[in-house]
Structure 1
């Protein structure tokens, strides 16, 4: 029992670090820019280098765990994540920082799918397993509000480099415990990594992001179009594609993932601009800015279980529409902000935005999983995570380009513009969901005439759940 708890604990630590690095860096951006002489484009890539590699490699990382064992892949992920964090802490230039952030993103992509797979294998009893997965999900929800506050304290204290140094000792301890406590899973999957899809997909996403960051050049646009075509060709010909084409014919699956992408595009893009506004325009310290953002992040943790019960009772459609409309209202209130706006005036917009996201997030994941066949739930969840990370990466690049330099006179007007764009994006997405997502609790349909779906290529967590359930029933 002790080793099981230790296994669950160390995997939750790994999951926490992956999500913490999504939000902890934002409040450090002004300090990084001042120290390294980085402009808005370099700051965008400081966030996006992590998000792009995480989004591009997450689906493939699950397959690598199935093939070579999740313990090996998690240990590799911890090593790369730790090395990338140390490199970021020591980075002498903005370019080096971006490169090491990409390395951290690769490690995070290897780490994230394996944490859940190892937990489901370490805890075979179905009731205990459900509790363990609940703890895992709860730890992830705490990471988002913890990021800005912890990051702000570190930036105002020992300095921005400690935002990355803090990961290194935690990764070392987690790696030692993983090597000692976790037993290796046997490779049972017959799937092969979709290397062409992985490479072309990563290059396409990076080119799309660069097209927004370097908005005065057509070269990234041409490259993005070329890589997207190559990615589509690779997926259509692959024996085991990252995204099986039959899933893309399921309307519910496509709309759910489009909504997930739109959610993070608007949220992470607007958060990037709002963080710069709080620090560079209103002059708050990093810690004060992190604390100021708590009304946005706390509802994500508090409302997650309530929204999950709402989704179970009513299906994902109603919570998705309600969450998008409330989040749109919050984003619209941010249009009222200017350099002299008092904090009490800022709170309602942040709070409504956070409440909307808290209701929306579980429903978006549920809609994607329920639109897929039962034996593709793992892939559907991974695809939804990928859509969110990709949307966030594009949002940061696009919104940074729209808002401009926070030192320029037009930045507040840029904040008003991106707030209005976010509100409109959420309303349009709500209308699409209202018109397309099935009213019922599920929209699963069988996928026909696809040899890819006839093999037992379920995700590792799904196979472990089935196997564990059968073993438990056999010995009961």
Structure 2
């Protein structure tokens, strides 16, 4: 009887841990989109310029993109529970800073700390869930739940953001994180929840046990220098775009060269991929990066168009974006079946083609605006993204079948990097929402997104994705 009670207690502990870690993962992805609807209110409340609003978004995504690879390695070295706890606490502090920010620089600093904390949380949540599962079947269930929660975060962002901004004010977008983090901390703090079953908390270790991990060597070393150079280079590049500073572009190019040199000499480098996998993984990450480049850049403009140009409320603006966001979690399973039937790249091509058509519809309807046409265009756009996202992630994962953590880390880094650069470039080209040419510039950017997606669709239709043998040796 006592053993039954102990097992029931363990089961409840695992469930609370699962809810806590999925809640943290939800917040990480929610904060990518939830702030977009609040941007006009933030601009009015703090007197932020167009470049300042771009930094409110990119101050989060730049450190998230730059530190994801290193964060997985740090978790491998120190234990993912320790790193996730640090991320939770940092995210709590950062959210409070953002919520009480009295000036744009303070808000940007808080967002940057949120991004660093999110990078610490993201790889470790999945690692802890996997290690705490009592069986392979249970592990598959919790990983599926983790993915489903993440899929719900993106469509929830604009709606939750609009509801909070209209009902309470833009600061509520950040206060929302505080009770969720406090509730999530309790299950993660329990020592008994770490590394159940003695399996360890490794992330991205190859099936053959060769230790193909993200930026961590046999001795537990972490490529701190590479992570620092990557963060600096990406930050300088985003700054150069937002502030229209050609000299900083040159600095970013030099940083990229230095990063290449550092990574060739690092032991281990941030990313270790076998030679046959390099081009297929680069192709998948390139498409994933360009996807977020156009999508997050477009979301940045759409929320300002709806509110600043067309005078809609934050809630209505968030509701208008729902047709574009809802298909992402809804089409995950059908897209997976389609990948099995026709392949990851052909499925990606289909999703890219649909999204390109949606981009065309958005470009033609958002300026006037013609709301029925806009809603249909957003729905087609969202359907394309819903088909594309799982397909291109699968294409990346299949390039390194023995080390899924490597492919996942590379894909996530590419997507976050693309999103940061997209927001920066779209903001720089469109300019201030108060300017007379803002809507026209936005329409041209949406049309450019259609061209990019159409070109990628052609590439996906003809590219087969070179097969990579599971036992291919890892090289730098």
The answer to whether the superposition gives a TM-score over 0.5 is yes
The answer on whether the counterparts of 1:148 and 1:291 sit within 8 Å (CA) in structure 2 is: yes
Query: How many residues are paired up?
Result: 447
Task: Work out whether residues 293 and 423 of structure 2, in 8 Å CA contact, stay in contact via their aligned partners in 1.
Answer: yes
Distance between the aligned counterparts of 1:187 and 1:380, measured in 2?
A: 18
**SS in structure 1 at match of 2:331:** helix
Structure 1 residue corresponding to 2:312, chosen from 284, 289, 301: 284
Report which stretch shifted further, 185-194 or 25-34: 185-194
Q: Which residue of 2 aligns with 1:240?
A: 268
Aligned equivalent of 2:222: 193
CA shift digits 1:309-356 (9 cap, x unpaired):
211332201110000010011001122135542321211111111000
2:371 matches 1:332:
no
- Distance change (3 Å), C-alpha of 1:310 and 1:190: farther
Separation in 2, partners of 1:241, 1:11: 28
- Structure 1 partner of 2:250: 222
For residues 380 and 366 of structure 2, the distance between their equivalents in structure 1, rounded to whole angstroms, comes to 19
3-state SS of 1:293 partner: helix
1:263 aligns with 2:273: no
Give the counterpart of 1:412 among 435, 439, 455.
439
Following TM superposition, by how much is the alpha carbon of 1:81 offset from its aligned partner in structure 2, in angstroms? Answer: 0.7
Q: Find the counterpart in structure 2 of residue 351 from structure 1.
A: 379
Q: What is the TM-score with the length of structure 2 in the denominator?
A: 0.91
Equivalence for 1:387: 414
CA contact (8 A) 1:65 1:72 kept: yes
Asked whether 1:204 is paired with 2:214, we answer no
Counterpart in the other structure of 1:114 = 124
* Residue of 23, 44, 50 corresponding to 2:54: 44
Tell me how large the CA RMSD over aligned residues is. Answer: 1.7
Decide whether the 8 Å contact of 2:19 with 2:184 is kept in 1: no
Write the distance in 2 (CA, Å) between the matches of 1:432 and 1:65: 36
Please give the per-residue CA displacement for 1:34-92, whole angstroms capped at 9, x wherever unaligned: 11010010100100011011011111111111111111001000011111111001111
Q: Which runs of 5+ in 1 are unaligned?
A: 453-476
Distance in 2 of aligned mates of 1:355 and 1:383? 25
After TM superposition, give the deviation of residue 445 of structure 1 in Å.
6.0
Give the conservation status (yes or no) of the 8 Å contact 2:297–2:427: yes
Change (3 A) 1:338 1:175: closer
Q: Which SS does the other structure have where 1:290 is aligned?
A: helix
Q: Give the match's secondary structure for 1:25.
A: helix
Answer yes or no: is the 8 Å Cα contact 1:67–1:187 preserved in 2: no
CA contact (8 A) 1:63 1:193 kept: yes
Matched position secondary structure for 2:123: helix
Q: Distance in 1 between matches of 2:53 and 2:144?
A: 34
Query: Is 1:166 paired with 2:166?
Result: no
Deviation at 1:172, TM superposition (A): 1.4
Give the Cα–Cα distance (whole angstroms) in 1 for the partners of residues 83 and 25 of structure 2: 14
Q: CA shift at 1:308, angstroms?
A: 1.4
Match for residue 156 of structure 1? 166
Conservation of the 8 A alpha-carbon contact between 2:285 and 2:396: yes
CA contact (8 A) 1:10 1:178 kept: yes
CA 248–62 in structure 1, closer or farther in 2 if over 3 Å, else same: farther
Among 105, 128, 131, the alignment partner of 2:138 is 128
* Structure 2 residue runs without a partner (length 5+): 1-10, 203-217
Shift in Å, 1:448: 4.0
Distance in 1 (CA, whole Å) between partners of 2:228 and 2:303 is 32
1:3 matched to 2:13? The reply is yes
